[in-house]
Structure 1
Amino acid sequence: MNVKHIFVAALFALVTSGAFAQTAKPAAAAQTGKLPVAEHYAGGQDSLVAHLQRSIQYPAMAKRNRVMGTCIIHFTLSEDGVISNAKILKEVGGGTGQEALRVVKLLKFKAPGYSQEYSVPVSFKL
């Protein structure tokens, strides 16, 4: 009976350690703050983030309710640099998701020569 419990505990430890090892990589990548889509934007990541921040018109409801946070917009960048299939993956409320979607659709990318999907975070801070 004891061997059975030890085997189950060892199997559980093995499975959970594998799950933690796989979630550690994306978290480490997120901490570096590099956006893969920025390589296709003129001026790179700094220019991309600056353009997003300049273009945001804080929604009145979000400003009134002091809503802050990060919205995530997912889109497909086509071979010729055109954004399509843009959608809101995460929004913080008060109309921030729709504003982030509008601003991302305004971005102009260089033609990468292939089609790929990307996600871009858009921060809202008062």
Structure 2
Amino acid sequence: MITKYKLTVVLIFTLSTLGFAQNRKPDYVFKLGTINYFMNLSKGNAKAQNDTLFYNLYRNGSTKRIAKEIKHIVNRNTGDTLQAGYYVVLEKTISFFQTFKAKKTTQRVYTQNVNGLLSVKSGVLTIDPPKMPIPPMAPAADNTGYPEQVDIPAEFPGGMARARQFIGNNLEYPKKAIDAEIEGTVQAKFTIELDGSISNIEIVRSLGYGCDEEVIRVIKRMPKWAPAKRDGKAVKSYITMPISFNLN
């Protein structure tokens, strides 16, 4: 019997467990229009200096791979994420985003035409500044010296919807939590530094059974954020993020 687990990051992400071609369960399934697609993950060279994981995109019923995109590149020695990828599915497109330590985020968009075929375009992603007034951040509770208010909050590349997408694509339900039928929410707090890097990850609401460690692991793999700004200058700020684990 196949069991389906659901992970949530404020909003709910569903991990599908349907069966497809190639005699293996797909890691991700979705539709573009009326056509079914799926993706399997594959690892790079096990002897390489960096740990690389790839998305492999297929059309349902076909063994021909449509695309191979990077999910992450991690330095095996330091654990640093050198490149992080995630994807977003819309009605007729699937976009793969790549974020780098010292480069802008790139985007590759696969668009479905009237014949059901996919064409691809690449480019550098430019994040537009918010156009609506944003409420100020709450005062820092730990006397860090961060400003009590900012003009523009820190932002994940592409916005919070894509932050949730990134976490939903990378978070795994710990086996200990599954075996013990543990459900609940881990609340993590972390600092966005002046350069957008993440530091000082703290679990402020624990769930245990490996869930806290899994949340920390995924947050560490996040790409750099756009730092918060006050009076036009980058400032340190903190983010509090609830991440829920639910079994179905």
TM-score under structure 2 length normalisation: 0.34
Whether the 8 Å CA contact 2:154–2:226 is kept in 1: the answer is no
Alpha-carbon distance in structure 2 between the residues aligned to 1:96 and 1:105: 14
Q: Which runs of 4+ in 1 moved over 6 A?
A: none
Does 2:245 match 1:124? Answer: yes
Does 2:198 match 1:92? Answer: no
Name which structure has the greater RCO, CA cutoff 8 Å, separation 6+. Answer: 1
Structure 2: 5+ residue stretches without partners: 1-137, 139-151, 228-233
How many residue pairs match? The answer is 91
Alpha-carbon distance in structure 2 between the residues aligned to 1:39 and 1:80: 11
Residue 71 of structure 1, aligned match among 186, 190, 210: 186
Structural mapping, 1:45-60, within 5 Å: 45-60=160-175
1:110 to partner: Cα distance: 3.1
1:92 to partner: Cα distance: 1.5
1:96 to partner: Cα distance: 0.5
Alpha-carbon distance in structure 2 between the residues aligned to 1:69 and 1:53: 16
Whether the 8 Å CA contact 1:39–1:45 is kept in 2: the answer is no
Q: Secondary structure at the match of 1:125?
A: strand
Structure 1: 5+ residue stretches without partners: 1-25, 27-36
Alpha-carbon distance in structure 2 between the residues aligned to 1:69 and 1:109: 27
Report which of the two has the higher share of strand: 2
Q: Which amino acid aligns with 2:238?
A: E
1:97 to partner: Cα distance: 0.7
TM-score under structure 1 length normalisation: 0.65
Report which of the two has the higher share of helix: 1
Structural mapping, 1:1-126, within 5 Å: 40-112=155-227, 113-126=234-247
Q: Show CA shifts across 1:63-84 (max 9, x none).
A: 1111111101111110101111
When residues 56 and 38 of structure 1 are mapped into structure 2, their CA distance, relative to the original with a 3 A threshold, is farther
When residues 38 and 55 of structure 1 are mapped into structure 2, their CA distance, relative to the original with a 3 A threshold, is farther
Q: Secondary structure at the match of 1:40?
A: coil
